[in-house]
Amino acid sequence: MAEKESLRERIMEEMTVEYTSILEKNFDLAKQFIRIAKSGRVNVLVKDKLSGKDRILLYLIGKLYAKEAGLASSDSAGNKELMTELGIPEGSLLPWLMSLRKKPGIKQTKEEKQVVHYMPIHLVEPVLKTIGKKMEKTS
């Protein structure tokens, strides 16, 4: 019993991740690419320099920040929202989403009869760093 409790304590100390801390740690990097209106609307700043997939990834990261700030009720986005906010036609959006579910691994679920997409928190840092490197190359 003591071994089990010891393992539990080690897991809690060494393996658990605080959701807020990941967003806080990556705040300055995310701020280079994303702004959030007080209405909760996410604005991807560098749309013209990025691929459609990268814009989707940044938008979903923006949704995490918007929810954390209490400006949005959800950290996910539906197809219509992505098309409207990012200016991506459906014919491009759907294949990109399918590809992004494979790599880097965004998730899809159903909320209120609507398919929505969200960014798992563990992908925030690697996605932001990859996009940051891409942006350095275009500068």
pLDDT tens for the chain, residues 1 to 139: 667 778 888 887 777 766 678 899 999 999 999 999 999 999 999 878 899 999 999 999 999 999 999 999 999 999 999 999 999 999 999 999 999 999 778 999 988 889 999 999 999 999 999 999 988 887 6
Domain membership of residue 90 (yes or no) is yes
* Angle, in degrees to the nearest 10, between helices 124-138 and 52-68: 130
pLDDT in the model for residue 111: 83
Domain membership of residue 2 (yes or no) is no
Number of domains in the chain: 1
Domain membership of residue 23 (yes or no) is yes
Residue 37 and residue 137: Cα distance in Å, rounded?
A: 29
- Distance separating the N- and C-terminal Cα atoms of the chain: 58
pTM: 0.85
pLDDT in the model for residue 138: 75
Q: Where are the alpha helices (DSSP H) in the chain?
A: 2-14, 19-25, 27-31, 52-68, 79-86, 90-102, 124-138
- Closest residue by Cα to residue 18 from 117, 127, 122: 122
Domain membership of residue 5 (yes or no) is no
Q: Which residues does 89 contact at the CB level (< 8 Å), separation at least 6?
A: 83
Domain membership of residue 109 (yes or no) is yes
Domain membership of residue 95 (yes or no) is yes
**3-state class of 80 per DSSP?**
helix
- CATH classification at residue 118: 1.10.10.10
pLDDT in the model for residue 5: 76
